Amino acid sequence: MLLAALVALATLNVRLAPLRVSPAAMMAGRGFGRAANPGGTGQPKKPRKPSSKRRGRAPPRQKIGSLEAKLLQEHAASCAAAEATFAVCASDGDGEYAAGWTAHPVPAGAVSETLYSADQPLLLESEGPLLSESECGALTNAMLLHGAAGGWDSRYPLAGYTREVKVSDMPAALEMLNGALRSTLLPAAASAFGLEASHLRVNEALVVQYDAASGHNALPIHRDFSLLTMSSALDAGGRQTGLLNVALSPSDSYAGGGTWFEHSGETLVCERGGALLHAGGLPHCGVPVTRGVRHLLVLFLLAAPLPLLAGRLQAIGAAAGTKPQFFSQPRRRPADLALSSAALQLAIEANPRDAESHSQLGHNFASEDRHADAQRCFEAAVELSRGRDFAALVSLAEAQAAQRQHAAALLERYEEAGLLFDALIDEEPGGMEDVEAWASLGVCMAALRQPEAALSCQKQVQRIRAASASVP
């Protein structure tokens, strides 16, 4: 059974039946007009020089209802809180960074075009450092001292993901970062995306640690609640994740790691002090560090004139709905199913290209036995992820099975993949003989470009080996 399932998994990606999404659902809202751009193929291209006419005005609105007014108030409050903590640029100069950016291809429709200009590259890699060696070292040391003294924060409450510390909790690091924000980071991000530097706000700043020895070494696939994310490597070399991510660690201080992007299946590399800058809505994950320790500075950026209305609606829907945080968990009991579904439907109207909103709504419909509606939602999620969302594929198969559509979209393969993966995740491995099965399944998941599933398999292999090593 296991070997047959592994064979099915290995062949699934190249035999997918075409999936169709309602044109009305996909074309709802404004902004369909970006020229096609193949994702993840060919050489990275140089971004166009930002237009002298910068963006910064919110899209025109016909009228503002009470819900939208509330969301705009929340956006204004977030910007005000950011201004009270992090530096804001008083002017709109280009700042001190002059090395330029390399653009990596992102396909049309990957994110909402109401927030970004039609010709704007959405994933950029710096061609030089944005932070100095001393700044990288200071941020890393501050994070280690704070974590040792006061503990760590975590966005993901399960063991095995990263450790992190908020820069706002480290006064000396915050002062240093604010200087870099004014002189370099905010002007560079604004220039790269054709925005006004004075409009950008730091919604949150984190120093994140990936530690192979402790097992806190990766992040699952996710999207960021940000207009832009900047991540900078604090260690020498290595790979890093999206946002504004700034690498703090030297590349020779760790192995593995990197940021994997769902739209292309590629993992990007950043040297120490260098950065990735991307649209917050691009799905990505932090690839496991296999040796040593890696540190990143991650900035989640908002723009005062560009409220993330669809993102806020999705957050409401996710908090009140049924979709579990992780694929291997059962569907949750909803806090308010009607509120969740209404918010998610509005989120889809505002941004029909967000696969996660479709998936969240599909889980709500499935919990009400509205399987045809759930199927349409999961079809949209699969289409928008270009078949790379393993959880959406399995959820689609479940919705089809509930309607007895046993021949649709290679259902048996979807079901076998999903049932096998769920069974293995829930099963307590019995010994070293299970390592080969887990490793084989992980290889299949990696071949299917499903890094979260592959990561779970890798963690099971590590856990079995660690347990076996401790047995006398």
Residues 181-227 have pLDDT tens digits of: 999 999 999 999 999 999 999 999 999 988 887 777 778 888 899 99
Angle separating helix axes 337-350 and 355-367, nearest 10 degrees: 150
In contact, 425 and 13? CB cutoff 8 Å: no
The least confident of 44-58, 105-119, 272-286, 317-331 is 44-58
Contact, 300 vs 268, CB < 8 A? no
Q: Alpha-carbon dihedral of residues 429, 434, 435, 436, nearest 10 degrees?
A: -160
Question: At 205, which helix (H) or strand (E)?
Answer: strand 200-211
| Amino acid sitting at position 30 | R
Q: How far is CA 24 from CA 21, 28, 108, 378, 421, in A?
A: 9, 6, 17, 16, 34
CATH topology of domain 137-306: Jelly Rolls (2.60.120)
Q: What is the predicted pLDDT for the residue at 470?
A: 55
What per-residue confidence (pLDDT) applies to 308? 94
Q: Binning pLDDT at 50, 70 and 90, where does residue 23 land? A: very low
- 170-180 b/e with 16+ CB inside 10 Å = b? beebbebbbeb
Q: Per-residue confidence at 423, pLDDT binned at 50, 70, 90? A: low
Tell me the two tokens of residue 224: 């960021």
Closest CA to 299 of 241, 245, 261: 245
Q: Residue 110 has which token pair? A: 């990957």
pLDDT at residue 410, rounded to an integer: 45
- The average pLDDT across 231-240 equals 64
Query: What value does the mean pLDDT of the chain take?
Result: 76
Domain 310-470: give its CATH architecture: Alpha Horseshoe (1.25)
Classify each residue of 63-99 as buried b or exposed e, where b means 16 or more C-beta atoms within 10 Å of its C-beta. Answer: eeeeebeebbeebeebbeebeebbbbbeebeebebee
Model pLDDT, residue 442: 63
Percent of the chain having pLDDT more than 70?
A: 67
Kindly state the DSSP code that residue 252 receives in the 8-state scheme.
Answer: G
Of the chain, the end-to-end C-alpha distance in Å amounts to: 33
18 pLDDT above the threshold of 70: no
**Radius of gyration over every alpha carbon of the chain, rounded to an integer in angstroms:** 22
pLDDT of 33: 23
Q: Phi/psi of residue 76, each to 5°?
A: -60, -40
Instruction: Express each pLDDT in 289-302 by its tens digit.
Output: 888 888 999 999 99
Token readout for 122 is: 């959405």
Determine the pLDDT at residue 17.
27
Is 179 strand, coil or helix?
Answer: helix
Q: Name every residue whose Cβ is closer than 8 Å to that of residue 203 and which is 6 or more positions away in sequence.
A: 78, 82, 225, 226, 300, 301, 302
At residue 287 the predicted structure's pLDDT band, cuts being 50, 70 and 90, is confident
Contact 255, 291 (CB under 8 A): yes
Cβ atoms of 452 and 220 closer than 8 Å: yes
| H or E segment and range at residue 163 | strand 163-166
Residues 29, 100: contact at Cβ < 8 Å? no
pLDDT per residue as tens digits for the range 388-421:
777 787 788 788 878 876 555 444 444 455 555 5
Scan for tokens 């109401």, then name that residue.
114
* CA–centroid distance for 63 within its chain: 32
Q: Where in the chain is the domain with CATH 1.25.40.10?
A: 310-470
Do 402 and 438 meet the contact criterion of CB atoms below 8 Å apart? no
d(CA 354, CA 389): 13
Question: Cβ contacts of residue 314 below 8 Å, gap of 6+?
Answer: 343, 344, 347, 354, 356, 357, 360
Task: Please tell me the predicted confidence (pLDDT) of residue 243.
Answer: 40
Q: What is the DSSP string of 343-410?
A: HHHHHHHH-TT-HHHHHHHHHHHHHTT-HHHHHHHHHHHHHHTTT--HHHHHHHHHHHHHTT-TTGGG
Q: Where in the chain is the domain with CATH 2.60.120.620?
A: 137-306
